[in-house]
């Protein structure tokens, strides 16, 4: 059996449909259930349903052989695993966003940046030689500049509708993000006969 760590939510449906196109029986993933451990009817695949940020943990520890996770999470988690394939789903952008009308002249020497990508934000601002105070948050990041908690945010933007609804805009796109297929290093060796054909099927399903 090949085990997957997958997340529900935005990526979930796109991910299930891609796996299906690659020949994986995903009927268990389509069930409306609160169960966190599922398996395909043919018992070839097991699925663990986890929070996006926990996918790399399950794969690094070898609890799951494979995982599907956004590049944003991979960068932030920085785990020891193999990134096998860009699945081109869940496309979004990691951006600096804030009030569009507050230009450079308003910029304080120490920019306050709210984010759930603390390590990545620190790295990005350090690489740019900009001093920034990183304010860690867990969600609703857009609220930070609205309430004065931060000057800007560093966050993923998909449709842009959350920014727009809160009067904010993208100030700068830092890098594009998409979902990746990741593998546990030992699983890739021990189960290569099962995993590599699946990777090939996924690659073809992407064409």
- Local structure of residue 128 (DSSP, 8 states): T
CB 73 within 8 A of CB 55: yes
CA distance 13 to 19: 10
Three-state DSSP at 158 gives coil
- Local structure of residue 57 (DSSP, 8 states): H
CA distance 113 to 136: 8
* Phi and psi angles of residue 173, each rounded to the nearest 5 degrees, phi first: -85, 125
Regarding 144 and contact with ligand PRP (CB under 6 A), the answer is no
Distances (CA, A) of 169 to 54, 89, 93, 193, 205: 29, 23, 13, 47, 35
Question: Given CA atoms 161, 163, 164, 166 in this order, what sign does their dihedral have?
Answer: positive
Regarding 168 and contact with ligand PRP (CB under 6 A), the answer is no
Shortest Å, Cβ 37 to ligand PRP: 24
Quick one: which segment of 26-34, 71-79, 135-143, 191-199 binds ligand PRP (CB under 6 A)? 135-143
Regarding 139 and contact with ligand PRP (CB under 6 A), the answer is yes
Regarding 161 and contact with ligand PRP (CB under 6 A), the answer is yes
Choosing from 141, 144, 168, 202, the residue that interacts with ligand PRP (CB under 6 A) is: 141
Site string for ligand PRP, 87-126 (x = CB under 6 A): ----------------------------------------
Regarding 173 and contact with ligand PRP (CB under 6 A), the answer is no
Choosing from 14, 57, 62, 162, the residue that interacts with ligand PRP (CB under 6 A) is: 162
**In this chain, which residue has its C-beta nearest to ligand PRP?**
139
Regarding 178 and contact with ligand PRP (CB under 6 A), the answer is no
Q: Where along the sequence are the contacts to ligand PRP (CB under 6 A)?
A: 139-142, 155-162
């Amino acid at each position: 059996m090949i085990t997957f760590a997958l997340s529900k939510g935005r990526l979930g449906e796109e991910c299930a449909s891609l796996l299906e196109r690659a020949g994986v029986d995903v009927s268990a993933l389509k069930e409306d259930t609160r169960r966190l451990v599922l398996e395909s009817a043919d018992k070839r695949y097991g699925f663990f349903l986890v929070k996006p940020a926990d996918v790399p943990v399950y794969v690094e520890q070898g609890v799951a052989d494979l995982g599907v996770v956004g590049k944003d999470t991979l960068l932030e988690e920085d785990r020891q695993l193999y990134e096998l394939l860009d699945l081109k789903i869940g496309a979004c952008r990691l951006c600096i966003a804030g009030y569009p009308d507050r230009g450079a002249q308003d910029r304080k020497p120490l920019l306050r940046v709210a984010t759930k990508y603390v390590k990545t934000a620190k790295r990005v601002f350090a690489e740019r030689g900009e001093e920034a105070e990183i304010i860690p948050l867990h969600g609703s990041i857009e609220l930070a500049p609205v309430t004065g908690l931060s000057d800007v945010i560093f966050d993923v933007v998909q449709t842009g509708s959350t920014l727009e609804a809160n009067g904010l805009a993208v100030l700068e796109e830092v890098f594009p993000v998409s979902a990746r297929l990741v593998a546990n290093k030992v699983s890739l060796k021990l189960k290569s006969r099962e995993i590599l054909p699946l990777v090939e099927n996924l690659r073809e399903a992407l064409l």
